[in-house]
Amino acid sequence: MSFTPSDEEQKYFQQREKEKREQIRKNLTDAAEELQESRKVADTVGTDKDEVVQRLRALGFDGDTARVFDLMPLVFVAWADGSVSIRERRSIMKIVEQRGIESGSHASQLVETLLEREPSPAFLDETLALLREIVGMSGERADDIVGLSVQVAEASGGLLGLVGDKVSTEERDLIQHIADQLGEKAQSAFHKRFDD
């Protein structure tokens, strides 16, 4: 005696097969999009190291937000004394704008979000470790990062931003930590600025 499925059962099995095929197509599409996004991140930060790209992705950076990854030290410096001044915020957002990053883009929104609430120490540590891997080896951009960090620190320093040392002790210490993480060119830029 053979079993013959009813029309209803056949429809059910056909529907299940159709759903399985749809899931396969979705998985393939998702995998392709993930690879494209990883390639965008790699191209943006200038690395061919898959491990670095995956760590960036794990931190929440994508092809668009990776455009501001090397500006994260500026955010940390702005928070060094416990709050971000209006001048520091303006200084950072002006740098973002000068990069050609349009207001309202994910990259711009990421920076604005991090200026609203202080990033965690873990985010700072992981960001600096990755930044060291990306720019530390060649030293490219390392001195620029230190220079921009100083620029942000000076934005609201001194009495009314005019008189006195424009960089607080907390900011200076953090900039030195950033320079130490980024290697010789960054350290040289730090000492050139602060030892003169």
CA dihedral 17, 20, 22, 23 (to 10 degrees): 170
- The answer on pLDDT for 4 being more than 80 is no
List, in order, residues 6 or more apart from 102 with CB less than 8 Å away: 108
- The answer on pLDDT for 156 being more than 90 is no
Band the pLDDT of 138: cuts 50, 70, 90: low
For 28-68, write each residue's pLDDT tens digit: 876 777 777 778 888 888 888 888 899 999 999 998 999 99
- The answer on pLDDT for 110 being more than 50 is yes
Per the CB < 8 A criterion, the answer to whether 90 and 155 are in contact is yes
The proportion of the chain whose per-residue pLDDT surpasses 70, expressed as a percent, equals 91
pTM greater than 0.75: yes
**Within 13 A of 133's CA, how many CA atoms are on the CB side?**
17
Among 80, 77, 112, residue whose Cα is nearest residue 93: 112
pLDDT at residue number 67: 93
Encode burial over 71-98: b for 16+ CB neighbours within 10 A, e otherwise: bbbbbbbbbbbeebeeebbebbbebbee
